[in-house]
Every structure is written in C-alpha cells, then in structure tokens.
A and B are shown apart, each in its own frame.
Chain A
Amino acid sequence: MIRFESVAKSYANGYQALSDINCTVQSGEMVFLTGHSGAGKSTLLKLLTLIERPTKGTIHINDVCLNKLKNRHKPKLRQRLGIIFQNPKLLENHSVYENVALPLVISGCCQTEIKRRVRAALDKVGLLRKEKLFPESLSGGEQQRVGIARAIVHKPRILIADEPTGNLDPELSKEIMDLFQAFNQVGVTVLVASHDLGLIGIMKHRILTLYQGKMLSTGVHFGNNEVHSG
C-alpha cells in the first residue's frame, strides 16, 4: 500500500511542485497518475522512490514512513521496488542480459538463480532471443521492454513507471500497458504515470489526476466514471 498524507514539495528557488497531496494506492491495485506536463507527476514518483524528500507531509509504503527512512536505507527500499523510466536508462556498455541481471547482482543472488530469473523476465517481455545484444542495437520499444524486464526481474511487489510509453507508438504502448496489467493480475501494485489519456482510458483502472501540483481527482475510472474514495 502506498499512502500520501498532506504531501508538499517546494524547491529552494520557491517553485511549488506539489502541494497538499492526499491519496492511497491499495496493495494489488493498478493506478494511473495523469496530468499535463509540469503537473508534478515525476516529482510525485521521485518522492516515492526517495530521489527527493517531501517538504511537508508523510509518505508511507506498506506502513513504513519514508520520511523517517535514513539515506543509508534508501538502497534497500529501492531494491524492493520496480522502477521504470521514460528513458529506459539502460547501461549502454552492458548486454541486455547484464542489464536485466543487475538488480539481482545488487541483491546478491546466485548465478544459477540470476540466469533463470533473467531468462524468465526476458521471456515475459518477448526479448529472450536478444539477451546478448547491446541496448544501442535495439529499437526504442525493445529498450523500454528491457527496462521493464529489469524492473520485474527481482519480483517486486510495487511497480512504479514514469511515462513508460512516452516514446512509443500506440501499438507498442498498448502492449506495454497490457504487460503492466498482467503483472497487476498476479498481485503487483502498479503505479503508472502517463499523459496518454486515450490509452489509459480503455484500461479501466483508477486514475489520479494532478493539476499544477495539486491532486485534482483521486478516483476516476476514465471509462465509466466510477469513483473510488482516495
């Protein structure tokens, strides 16, 4: 479960990125986070992944208060999240296999287990045959899928994606969203930031809407306007 309580984030130059954010994402839920560019989507995800700290309010993940989490414990938290970025952020000098294996290497898995899990993750995103290639020889969609494989290889319970389909054509975007949905169906909590309203509208999941740093709506199924309490 992810819970934001009266969260605000302002920067040293006085820019207020987020103010008074209150919302909850239940365990096993899939939620979209939307809003125009500069609405604060990325800031919200940065707070969740401890890239930045809130100026006010508290953030909880599974009853753990992130505000109290010390810097030295950040890596442990991140090891248990699956994070996907708009730019897939792959290691250019490493093969697809090595990229996907990295979270497992960091957490100290044995080689046989790494091999098994990386193959399974690559199979899931349909890139098993490309494990020896390097990111530069892959298309944008394939790179994004490698990023997804890396985010799920350690079987996180929470998947956070920031504009994962931002650079992809509609068909590929749909494929990737379906992939997220498949993870959600096996119990993973999925939080996807996206401004592709057309795509997330047909997915029938709760949508959090940000507007100029404020939470405009915390519970609208884009398709049928079903309202959940936030």
Chain B
Amino acid sequence: MEIMRFIVANSSNHFKPTAYVNSAQLTWYRRILSQHTYAVSLAIGRISKTPFATLLTILVIGLALALPTGVLLVLSSSQALINKLDNGTQISLFIESTMTTAEVQQLEQQLSHDQRVAKVRYIAPSEVMRSFQSALGIRENAHSMEESFLPGILEIVPAYQKYKSEQIAQFVEELKQLPGIEVAQLDIDWINRLQAIMNIIEQAALLLLILVSTGVMLIIANTIRLIQELYRDELEIMRLIGANNSFVRRPFVYTGLLYGIFGGLVAWLILDFFLVYLRQPLQDLLNLYMNQASVSELDFQTLIILTMIGAVFGLIGSLISVFVFSLKQENEIII
C-alpha cells in the first residue's frame, strides 16, 4: 500500500526528471527474459573469472555422478545377459531304463501339449551314446558298449516368454514327481545365486546414488555459498541501488544449474571413456553367450538424462545455498 502511494506520488509530471520514460519499460515477459539473460551472463562471467576452481568443481560433480551411474549401467547390461542365460536353460529329464519306448513316446506327447513347454525332444540312449563317444573320442569299441548303460533323455525347452523363472522352477518340481523319471534337472542354481548377488549390488548402487546425489547437491550448495562470499560487496551494492532478492539470487541459481549441466556432461564423457576402454573385454564376454550381441554405446539419450540429473541437482543445491546462506546478508549493508 505504502509503496503504491510512493509510486503514485512520484508519477506526477511536476519536475523535469519525473518525465520518466515508462514506454522504455519492457513488457513483463520481455523484462523477465531480459533479467534472466542478464543473470545467465552474470553467472557465466563469474564462473569464467575462476576457471580452475570451476573446472575442479565440475570434475568433482562429474566423477560423483559417473560412479553410481556407471554401476547402474553395468548392472542393467548384466541383467540383460542374465535374462538371456536364464532363457537359454533347458530341462533335461533322465528316463528310467525300465520305461518302454511306447511309454516314453506317450510322455513326450503329453509334455508337448503342456503350455509351459515350448519344445520337447527325445534323445534315445543310442544317440546319447554316440555323442558321449564322440565327446570322449572313442570309435573302436562303440558297439561293444551296452546301450542300457545310458538313459534316454527328454530335452525340454520351457516357454520362457509366457512364464516366469519361478514358475518354470515349479514345473521342474512337478516333472520330478512323474513316474519313470529318474532325474529332472534345470541348471539355474548358479544363475539364481548370481541374480541374488546382482540384487545386492543394485540395492547398494541405489544407496550409493542417494548418498552421492546428496553429496553433489551439498558440493554445489557450498560452492555457491563461497561464490556468494566472494561477491558479497557486489551483492550489497546491487541491493543498495534497488535490486530485489530475486535479482541478486538469480545469477547464483544459474551458476548452480551450469555446474550441474557441465557436471552431467563430464560424467557422460567419463563413462564414455570407460566404455571405450572396456569395449573389447566386454565384447569378448558377450560373444561367449550371445552370437549377435554387441556392446552398446552411450547414446544421446544417456547424455540428456545425465545433464538433466546434473541440472536438477545443481538447481536444488544452488537454491539451498541462496535461501540458507544469503539470509544473513540482508541487513548487513553498510555505507
């Protein structure tokens, strides 16, 4: 109310200087745009005054962001690999030697109608013998061995597209109960163990991500606090000639934002570097399990996500700084 009266009282055209050119004032949106442009230029100007310190801050943010992101990226790639391994597992049913061929065929027929079975194939003892012999390199006495020495095998490819691993494991348990089955074997124990370890690492990475994120925000908040101290005189002068809090704080918020964005960019570069470094061993590993798999490159999307995460951290950090640390400065202006 008082300020309105002040403005009204001042708007009379009584004195020459009162011919304040109001038309020179920008429309509200252009004023906002021009003040934000000014804030950005001030922010860039300030951080470019201390290039070494700025570089260090950005590197610290980049490294801090790269660590958990890298772990999560490796985890997600490994997860894809594990899923693939998981899906490649077959169930082997070892048939008791007492079963007749007709019974086995009936069982095969029965299994092929089961929803959980994608494919079923009977490997007769003679066939098992042949592959056993070729594996051992035995040729001469092939026929002297008794065929009953080895059991027939029903090889089942489970329908992994439709059922979860747990359901398949349950199915194996059911198969074990069938008459004439000596052993039902699904070799997924080691995968399950690996999965459990991966889950622990994933949880740890998420915890690390939370800790590091908090750290990054605090680093930015503290850096902005130091810059505010550095420009304390400038802020006082600005306030004295009529700058409001937003005008004074805005450049610092942009500084934090820039730190975050560049930090994200650095994190991306670090991860890219590591990926280049690890490409060959990773490719070798993938080739062992998948024929056509290739190591994915860090794409543009990852860059955008990383810089956006950095920007958000920068924004939060700088806001913490300007709201927590600049409160004390409000009434400390001294002529």
What is A's interface to B at a CB cutoff of 8 Å?
27-28, 42, 45-46, 49, 51, 61-65, 68-73, 75-81, 83, 85-86, 89-93, 102-103, 105-111, 113, 150-151, 154-157, 162, 183, 186-188
User: Hey, which chain B residues are within 8 Å of A71, CB to CB?
Assistant: 330
Main secondary structure of the interface of B (DSSP, over half): helix
Contact A28 B15 (CB under 8 A): yes
In the complex, which of the residues A27, A65, A113, A188 contacts B2, with contact meaning CB atoms closer than 8 Å? A65
Tell me the total A-B contact number using a CB cutoff of 8 A: 131
CB-defined A-B contacts under 8 Å, sample of 22: A51-B240, A51-B335, A64-B5, A75-B239, A79-B241, A80-B7, A81-B242, A89-B233, A89-B237, A89-B240, A90-B237, A93-B45, A103-B241, A107-B25, A107-B242, A108-B25, A109-B25, A110-B24, A111-B34, A151-B241, A157-B17, A187-B17
What is B's interface to A at a CB cutoff of 8 Å?
1-3, 5-7, 9-10, 14-21, 24-26, 30-31, 34-35, 38, 45-46, 49, 233-234, 236-244, 247, 330, 333-335
In the complex, which of the residues A51, A68, A78, A113 contacts B24, with contact meaning CB atoms closer than 8 Å? A113
Give the nearest-CB partner of B247 in chain A: A106
User: Hey, which chain A residues are within 8 Å of B18, CB to CB?
Assistant: 155, 157, 187
Contact B335 A75 (CB under 8 A): no
User: Hey, which chain A residues are within 8 Å of B236, CB to CB?
Assistant: 89
Q: How far is the CB of A190 from chain B (nearest CB, A)?
A: 11
Contact B241 A78 (CB under 8 A): yes
User: Hey, which chain B residues are within 8 Å of A42, CB to CB?
Assistant: 335
Q: How far is the CB of B332 from chain A (nearest CB, A)?
A: 10
Contact A188 B9 (CB under 8 A): no
Contact A83 B25 (CB under 8 A): no
Contact B2 A62 (CB under 8 A): no
Which of B6, B14, B15, B16 has its CB near the most chain A CB atoms (within 10 A)? Answer: B6
Contact A157 B15 (CB under 8 A): yes
User: Hey, which chain A residues are within 8 Å of B30, CB to CB?
Assistant: 110
In the complex, which of the residues B2, B10, B14, B241 contacts A150, with contact meaning CB atoms closer than 8 Å? B241
